[in-house]
A and B are shown apart, each in its own frame.
Chain A
Amino acid sequence: MQVNTEALESLQSEALTGTFYRYIRTRYADKPLSTNGAFVNGGRYNVAGSFAALYLGFNLETCEAEVSQGILAGVPLKRGAFTVWEYEASLSFVVRLDDPAIQAQIGVTDKDITISGNHWTASQIGE
């Protein structure tokens, strides 16, 4: 899916304040704000080595789904594999890519940006 990058420039943003969550591999749990792993390995919205990103979830279910349904393929996890961190955050410029109107402006669908193992569309938006 080719993203309409011109439309990206003029998307409406909003402020967002609230509680967010992150599942961190316990080995790295002492660095809850580190973006090094995302920078080195890449993620849904960032290509490895391009820029860093901090991935947070609105709720624990989202975090759990994100870690268990992708590359881990739903295989039962080791006890204590992850440590959960909770964040109080106040964000100034948030583009709601879950908003169908915003998706329509840039020419993407829910499926394009949530599909497992194919980050092509999401990484174009991130870049």
Chain B
Amino acid sequence: MPKTVPKTPVKKTTKSSLSPKTKRPKTLSMQTMQKSDSFGKTVCYLRELFGFTKKDFADVLNVNEKTIRRWEMGLTEVMPHTSHKKAIMTLQTVAESLSDLFEPDMIKVWVDRPNPALQGERPRDYARKPGGIFIMANLLGAVGR
């Protein structure tokens, strides 16, 4: 089976914006994401933090599952739209709040627990609703601030 070769050259950066030494994900500006392949790394980090499958995460971002796979591989044949970048930045603020409040294993518990503030839905499901991640970001952002 021949190896899949990207149709367009992939620009690689020498330094990831998510260094392993960094405790929290840095908030990436849209400009930074556009210029580097860190967008894919951020997508992968957030997806794994929330325990989403690629299919789940594709639903959250309203893209094809293949697109998620390509982004995570650093391929930018399908460039992330501004709306995708906004969604990722919003998920980063959600991740930041959750990291302030819970240990990593409890974040996954939170994602799967029916939530009274989300009409009894699990955050995992609520994230797929239009505007769901933005509402979650606001509700979490207001806790203890």
Contacts and interface: CB of A to CB of B under 8 A. Distances in A.
A67 B119 contact: no
Given A77-B102, A116-B117, A67 B143 contact: yes
A24 B144 CA distance: 4
Interface stretch (B41-49, B56-64, B134-142): B134-142
A13 interface: no
Interface residues of B, number: 24
B20 interface: no
B83 to A, nearest CB: 20
B143 A25 contact: yes
B106 interface: yes
Contacts of B116: 69-70, 73, 116-117
Contacts of A36: 145
Given A26-B100, A81-B100, A75 B144 contact: no
Given A28-B145, A71-B140, A117 B119 contact: yes
Interface stretch (A41-49, A91-99, A101-109): A41-49
Given A26-B100, A71-B139, A117-B139, A41 B109 contact: no
A73 B101 contact: no
Contact of B142 (A27, A37, A73): A37
Nearest to A25: B144
Given A48-B138, A71-B136, A75-B109, A117 B145 contact: no
Interface of B: 100-103, 106, 109-110, 113-119, 136-145
